[in-house]
Amino acid sequence: MLKLVARIFIGVLSGVGVLAIATLVWLVSSGMSARRAPSALETWVGARVRSFAIPASDRQMHDPATSADPAEMRSAREQFTDHCAVCHAHDGSGQTDIGRRLSPRPPDMRTDLTQSLTDGEIFHIINDGVRFTGMPAWNHEARQTWALVGFIRHLPKVTKAELDDMRGIPAGTRSAKPAATPTSTAKTGRAAADRRAR
C-alpha cells in the first residue's frame, strides 16, 4: 500500500516537473514580449483560471438598483472616459495605442466575450482587477462600479451622440485611483446591496 502511494507521489512529481520544464522551454522560445498577442490556448486557459478564481457568491451578485438612471449613466460615461478608455477605448473596442500593445489585450467588450459574463463577474473584475494583466483594481464606490457595469452592458448599442459626449470630457474629471489596498468585492458589492435593502 505504502509502495503504491510512493509510486503515485513520484508519478505526480515527475508530471509536474515535465510540465514546469515544458513551460520554461516555451517561455524562453516565445519570449515575454507584450508585442505578441497571447495564443488561443493562453487566452482560453487565462479565461478559465479567471472564472475559476471568482467566487460563486460574487458571480451571482446583481445590481441592487435596477433602473438605468440617466444621471447615473452620464456619471458612468464620465468615469469610463477618465479611467477606462485609455485601454478599452470609449466604445469598448480596446482599439487604443495602449490597448493594442498590452498582452493580454483588452477584449472587445461589445462582443459576447464580455457580454456573456454575469453582472457579478463584471463587478468583481472592475473592483479587484485581474492579476498578471494590465487590468487594475479600482477604488470606486460600489454604486459607481454598478453604474460602470450598466454602461458596459449598454456598449453594444452605444450611440454616436454618447461617444461624442464622452470625447468632450476632459481628463482628470474623476478622482478614484487604482486600489492601493484591495477591498474584497463581496464586501463592497454586498454593502451596497444591504444599504438598498434597508
Kindly state whether residue 138 participates in binding ligand HEC, applying the rule CB under 6 A: yes
Cell numbers 478599452 correspond to 88
Residue 2 is which amino acid? L
Site for ligand HEC in 158-197 (CB under 6 A): none
Among 37, 42, 46, 191, binds ligand HEC (CB under 6 A): 46
**Residue 69, Ramachandran bin (φ over 0: left; ψ between -120 and 50: alpha; else beta):** beta
Smallest separation, CB 34 to ligand HEC (Å)? 10
Applying the rule CB under 6 A, the residues between 68 and 87 that interact with ligand HEC are 83-84, 86-87
Q: What are the C-alpha distances in Å from 77 to residues 82, 147, 152? A: 9, 9, 10
Q: In angstroms, rounded to a whole number, what is the distance separating the alpha carbons of residues 98 and 86?
A: 7
Give the DSSP letter of residue 131: T
Residue 133 sits in the site that holds ligand HEC (CB under 6 A): yes
Shortest distance (Å) from residue 27 CB to ligand HEC: 18
Choices 6-14, 56-64, 128-136, 160-168; region in contact with ligand HEC by CB under 6 A: 128-136
Is residue 123 a contact residue for ligand HEC (CB under 6 A)? Answer: no
Displacement of CA 45 from its chain's centroid (Å) = 15
As a whole number of angstroms, the distance between CA 5 and CA 12 comes to 11
Nearer to ligand HEC, 3 or 170 (CB): 170
Inter-residue contact 11 to 81 (CB < 8 Å): no
In the bound state with ligand HEC, the residue whose beta carbon lies nearer, of 66 and 116, is 116
Site membership for ligand HEC, residue 89 (CB under 6 A) = no
How far is CA 118 from each of CA 60, 114, 193, rounded to the nearest angstrom?
A: 7, 9, 16
**Listed ranges 65-73, 124-132, 158-166, 188-196: which one lies at the site for ligand HEC (CB under 6 A):** 124-132
User: Which chain residues interact with ligand HEC by CB under 6 A?
Assistant: 46, 50, 83-84, 86-88, 102, 104, 106-107, 109, 113-114, 117, 122, 125-126, 130, 133-136, 138, 148, 152
